[in-house]
Amino acid sequence: MNRYLKICLLVFAVTTCICCTAQNSSDMRSIINHNFNDAGAQYKVMMKQLPAGKLPKTFENDTLRTSNSGWWCSGFYPGSLFYIYEQTKDAALNTEAKRALGLLEKEQFNTSTHDLGFMMYCSFGNALRLDPNNETYKQVLINSAKSLSTRFNPKVGCIKSWNSKPSDFLVIIDNMMNLELLFWATKTTGDSSFYKIAVTHANTTMKNHFRDDYSSYHVLNYNPETGAVQQKKTAQGAADSSAWARGQAWGLYGYTVMYRETKDKKYLDQANHIAHFILNNPNLPNDKIPYWDFDAPGIPNALRDASAAAVAASALLELSTYSKENATEYITVAKTIITNLSSPEYKAAIGTNGGFILKHSVGSLPGKSEVDVPLTYADYYFLEAMKRYKDLGLK
């Protein structure tokens, strides 16, 4: 090879490397913007399939599965639409989101569920964020917080999750996600009772739900008369003693919110401990998309849970703003999750998957319910994670 050709090849290689580096630095924003556009197209596919008065749950066996407004996931559909509309400015998505709010509005008076945070804050909360002077949205959320508060038992120090027999008081780690609504209610109304309930619930959960390694049980059963712990078990995990992946993500997200709203360092410490349990777990795959349970039988061939990954990514991005010493690690992991969820392995092609964005989530494998399917909350927290990434000004 003559000297001239060698020089040309060297220049080409260096130029290519520089171009690739420049491209990689802007890749994430390009990926995210592309994902939001694809999400808009997908949700238009979903919109056309939805029966009147119904909200999406999942897509199984080539069929869109739907729910009424009382299902715990009912608020994720309009919430996702608002996130996509915010990024794309597609008015049709905003119109559809507001239509869905109409179906949900009556749930503000629902006292039979602990999931009003998921149902109402993810929907009406995002609506209010985009339209902050809307008094109707505010009143719906205030009433929702009042309804949620009726499930608090001061002897237990928690909000009841699932209704059961009178001698049981069941609390699941998921309930940490519903406290954000209560904090909002105190800030909006000045009524400190909502704040006090949220803090008491978080403190009781922190005391009883977590093991020495900061993994979490799924379900605790308290004595409603004395507050004593009667059982520590699972419903959706692999075993009572296992670390159900989405449950760990709920805890991470919940205690990050607790620190945001109170600035009490014990919640920041708790969030960091949970993050380290997840990120240092020997069973966390290299692509950072967890198995459905960190102790699932059959690893490395166990099913993955995209929803757990999406929740964790969103939480880590917020936590990175409070935990400066861990910020680089948290952002890197969140970026890895978003990147991998954006790949064809997890992100559906337009026109497929019933209009859902992500594939491969696990609702309840022990219950044989929603196994290896798309789920509304996987989409919602994926969209939220990408919005947070952009809002942080990250490249």
Mean pLDDT (10-residue bins), the chain, 395 residues: 39 34 61 98 97 97 97 98 98 98 98 98 98 98 98 98 97 98 98 98 98 98 98 98 98 99 98 98 98 98 98 99 98 98 98 98 98 98 98 93
Identify the CATH number of the domain in which residue 326 sits.
Answer: 1.50.10.10
Active site residue 174: yes
Active site residue 372: no
Tell whether residue 250 is among the known ligand binding residues.
yes
What residues pair up with 229 in beta bridges, in sequence order? 222
Same domain? For 261 and 374 the reply is yes
> Which of 202, 233, 264 is the last residue before a domain boundary?
233
Six token digits for residue 202: 């978080």
**38 in any annotated domain:** no
Same domain? For 278 and 349 the reply is yes
Six token digits for residue 232: 């520590």
Tell whether residue 364 is among the known ligand binding residues.
yes
- Confidence at residue 299, expressed as pLDDT on a 0 to 100 scale: 98
**174 in any annotated domain:** yes
Same domain? For 250 and 393 the reply is yes
**90 in any annotated domain:** no
Same domain? For 288 and 363 the reply is yes
- Catalytic-role residue among 62, 168, 174, 295: 174
Same domain? For 263 and 360 the reply is yes
340-346 long-range contacts, CB within 8 A, separation 24+: 340/287, 340/288, 340/289, 340/309, 341/289, 341/306, 341/309, 341/310, 341/313, 341/382, 342/31, 342/35, 346/289, 346/306
- Confidence at residue 16, expressed as pLDDT on a 0 to 100 scale: 34
**334 in any annotated domain:** yes
CA torsion through residues 46, 50, 55, 61, sign = negative
**8 in any annotated domain:** no
Same domain? For 197 and 270 the reply is no
Same domain? For 330 and 363 the reply is yes
> Domain limits at 330?
243-395
Same domain? For 277 and 352 the reply is yes
Using CA atoms, how far apart are residues 341 and 332, in angstroms rounded to an integer?
14
**204 in any annotated domain:** yes
Number of domains in the chain: 2
Using CA atoms, how far apart are residues 247 and 283, in angstroms rounded to an integer?
16
Same domain? For 220 and 339 the reply is no
Nearest to 296 by CA among 370, 363, 245, 371: 245
Using CA atoms, how far apart are residues 186 and 168, in angstroms rounded to an integer?
29
Tell whether residue 174 is among the known ligand binding residues.
yes
- Catalytic-role residue among 27, 38, 115, 212: 115
- Confidence at residue 26, expressed as pLDDT on a 0 to 100 scale: 56
**Radius of gyration, CA atoms only, the chain:** 22
**121 in any annotated domain:** no
- Confidence at residue 24, expressed as pLDDT on a 0 to 100 scale: 44
Q: Name the phi and psi angles at 385, rounded to 5.
A: -60, -45
> Which of 200, 233, 266 is the last residue before a domain boundary?
233
**120 in any annotated domain:** no
Same domain? For 386 and 248 the reply is yes
Same domain? For 393 and 297 the reply is yes
What residues pair up with 293 in beta bridges, in sequence order? 244
Contact 110, 139 (CB under 8 A): no
> Which of 204, 233, 262 is the last residue before a domain boundary?
233
Tell whether residue 234 is among the known ligand binding residues.
yes
- Confidence at residue 23, expressed as pLDDT on a 0 to 100 scale: 35
Same domain? For 265 and 390 the reply is yes
